[in-house]
Amino acid sequence: MTLKEIHHTVKRPGRTQDHEPVEIPVAEELATVPGIVKKDNDVAWYSRNYPIVSQNVEKAADREWTWTVYTGEMYEYRKHHDEVNKPLVEAAYVSGDIVPTGTVESGRDVTEEIRQKARELGFGEVGFTKYDRKYAYKSKKAWVKYEHAICLALEQDYWQTQTIPSMEAEFAHFGTYEEEGALALDLADFIRDLGYRAQVHSPNDNSAAYIPMFVEAGLGQLGANGQLLSPHFGNRSRLMIISTDAIVSYDEPVDYGIHKFCEMCQVCVNRCPGRALVKEKVFWRGVEKHKLMYDRCRPVMATYEGCGVCMLVCPVQRYGMAPVMEHFVETGEVLGKGTDNLEGYEIRGKGYYGPGKLPSFSREFFEIPHGTKDEWLFTQFKQKIEEKGKVTEEEKQEFVKELGDILSEESIFDAGL
Amino acid sequence: MTSRKTFQKENIDGLFGELNTDYKGMPESEQLHRDAHLAIAYHDSGRPIPESIDPRVIELISKHGPKDS
């Protein structure tokens, strides 16, 4: 006898090819809409008038600042990752120009062949949808060549991720990106063997906000932590896209019951060390979502090995969507909520925080550079004038030199490699 | 939540400490970790632990779980 009425059941393939398919019961009171609540006219309006700017560009000043607060080990590891990753990002950037190696079989739909190959390579979630340019970054709109998006999620190591925040978890985080970047190049080769073009959108030089396309392809729904919650690993995956001109069929968005579940669960919101997550949803660029407070998140993330507590404490990440939704149907409760097992974490140098306990940080801890690097330089220069009333000739020259250095920095990659 | 005693940090550390000592680096290690977290969650919620959970994990749950006084 279950406590809750079941509205519908979602059937999905197993976590890997060796696993059985799963069935996810969605309780009556959790059902909303397939995908996400959005106002298409608003999404289009914002995209036309205020195209999305990559965080790597818009927040370049704090991106550079993060290197100054890394531990020695983290600093060296990030440098190593960037070196390993650079050839993958470069290869992805030009991948759309490579000519196909095979011959097209006229009119044949190759969706399932590509899906099968992607699963064989190890991608845990694979979905097909239109590459929606409304979510493309301003700097990448002209770069994107093909109309169909193959959405690919690669699972991050389970055990390492449960040690968040830690170097071990960062090895899993960045290691997954490195693996994924290489696997995508293989999948693109496979598509070219079928006679079609394939453009790899590197997971480290993203062309767009990817989550909306993953939601449209039915691979999950947007969680309160601002991350994609997919059936098997929740938010514990790394996302990327390959766009193609191959003949493919699109998948449909799915209602996994996540929107109402997150409203009720709130574990990530309550456990966020920086209090960066918010309880209430807002409409942001036409989409109804929990919008995180970036300035509360970034300092914790940069200082404490990527933080990731919002990933750690999500029950869907920890236990999988099927057990979590079954538990809700059976009991009306959130599996693991209120327990040390789900909610506990340690912050380096601060100690252990169980349910109901959060670390505290000084006001100064949250003071980080804002905007692009030139905007931040200008802000600092203006502050100097306001504080001192005037600046010296030497300070003026220093400002001009620094501005020149920033403006002459050139990279075709938003990741700044 | 029930009033049942739930796994505290020392229980969790003890269980995963033993799991890592015995199985770290072995092929089944990852599945055992998944099972252990799920089994703890079921234990803490007062629900029976499903048969799909590895018996080695069920043994560890009994050994390291909070003792009802």
pLDDT at A411: 74
Tokens of A390: 């005037």
Q: Give residue B37's identity as a one-letter amino acid code.
A: H
Does a structural domain hold residue A27?
yes
Closest residue of B to A354, CA-based? B9
Residue A71 lies in a domain: yes
Helix, strand, coil shares of chain A as percentages rounded to 5? 45, 15, 40
Distance in Å, alpha carbon of B41 to nearest chain A alpha carbon: 5
- What are the CA-CA distances from residue B40 to residues A127, A185, B12 (Å)? 33, 40, 9
User: Is residue A206 a contact partner of residue A57, using CB atoms and an 8 Å limit?
Assistant: no
Q: What is the pLDDT of residues A360-410, one digit of tens each?
A: 999 999 999 999 888 989 988 998 899 988 889 999 999 999 899 888 887
Looking at the fold, whether A345 and A390 belong to one and the same domain comes out as no
A257 and A335 fall within a common domain: yes
A1 vs A83: CA distance, rounded Å: 56
- A288 in any annotated domain: yes
pLDDT band at B1 (very low <50, low <70, confident <90, very high): very low
3-class secondary structure, A153: strand
Average pLDDT of the residues of chain B: 92
The nearest alpha carbon in chain A to B29 belongs to A159
Structure tokens at B7: 């796994």
Nearest residue, CB atoms, B45 vs list A318, A333, A344 = A333
Average pLDDT of chain A?
95
Q: Do B7 and A338 touch (CB under 8 A)?
A: no
Backbone phi, then psi, for A148, in 5-degree steps?
Answer: -100, 140
CA distance B19 to chain A (A): 11
Assess whether pLDDT exceeds 80 at residue B2. Answer: no
| Contact yes or no for A319 and B38 at CB 8 A | yes
Q: Is residue A415 part of a domain?
A: no
Establish if A158 touches chain B: CB-CB under 8 angstroms: yes
Quote the pTM value.
0.94
CA distance A139 to A206: 10
User: Is the bond preceding residue A231 a cis peptide, omega within 30 degrees?
Assistant: no
Question: Which of A3, A160, A340, A353 to mutate to test binding with chain B, by most B CBs within 10 Å of its CB?
Answer: A340
Do A36 and A24 share a structural domain?
A: yes
> pLDDT at position A57, please?
87
Mean pLDDT of A35-55: 96
Smallest CA-to-CA distance from A415 within A45, A93, A195 is with: A93
Is the Cβ of A352 closer than 8 Å to some Cβ of chain B? yes
The 3-state secondary structure of chain B reads CCCCCCCCHHHHHHHHHHHHHHHCCCCCHHHHHHHHHHHHHHHHHCCCCCCCCCHHHHHHHHHHCCCCC
Let me know if B48 is exposed, middle or buried by CB neighbors in 10 A (0-12, 13-18, 19+).
Answer: exposed
The CA-atom distances, in angstroms, between A174 and each of A121, A160, A162, A322, A336 are 18, 12, 15, 27, 28
Chain B residues closer than 8 Å to A158 by CB: 30, 33-34
CA–CA separation, A359 vs A350, rounded Å? 7
Strands annotated E in A112-229: 125-130, 148-155, 198-201, 221-222, 228-229
- B41/A342 touch (CB, cutoff 8 Å), yes or no: yes
Residues A88, A22 share a domain: yes
Contacts of A327 in chain B (CB under 8 A): 45, 47
User: Taking the domains of chain B in order of start, what are their residue ranges?
Assistant: 9-64
A269-279 pLDDT, tens digit per residue, is: 999 999 999 99
Same domain, A363 and A380: no
For residue A253, which of A295, A222, A209 has the smallest C-alpha distance?
A222
Q: Dig out the tokens for A230 from the structure.
A: 């997919």
DSSP tally for chain A: helices H, then strands E: 17, 12
Rg (CA), chain A: 22
Q: Which residues contact A142 (CB under 8 A, 6 or more apart)?
A: none
Question: Hey, is the C-beta of A249 within 8 angstroms of any chain B C-beta?
Answer: no
Q: Does residue A387 form part of some domain?
A: yes
Domain co-membership, A345 together with A389? no
Q: What is the pLDDT of residues A70-119, one digit of tens each?
A: 999 999 999 999 999 999 999 999 999 999 999 999 999 999 999 999 99
Residue with tokens 């959005």: A38
pLDDT at A414: 74
Residue A417 lies in a domain: no
Give the number of domains in chain A: 2
Q: Give the phi and the psi of residue A305 in degrees, each rounded to 5.
A: 45, 50
* Enclosing domain of residue A386: 373-407
Q: Give the pairing type, strands A198-201 and A237-244.
A: antiparallel
CA distances from A366 to A56, A275, A303, A362 (A): 19, 11, 11, 7
Nearest by Cα to A402 from A379, A368, A370: A379
For chain A, give the percent of residues with pLDDT over 90.
Answer: 89
Quote the pLDDT of residue A369.
Answer: 92
Distances (CA, A) of A159 to A84, A166, A276, B28: 23, 12, 25, 12
Lowest average pLDDT, out of A32-41, A68-77, A212-221, A380-389, goes to A380-389
Ordered DSSP codes for A281-300: -EEETTEEEPPP-HHHHHHH
Q: A260: part of which helix (H) or strand (E)? A: helix A258-265
- Residue range A127-166, pLDDT digits in tens: 999 999 999 999 999 999 999 999 999 999 999 999 999 9
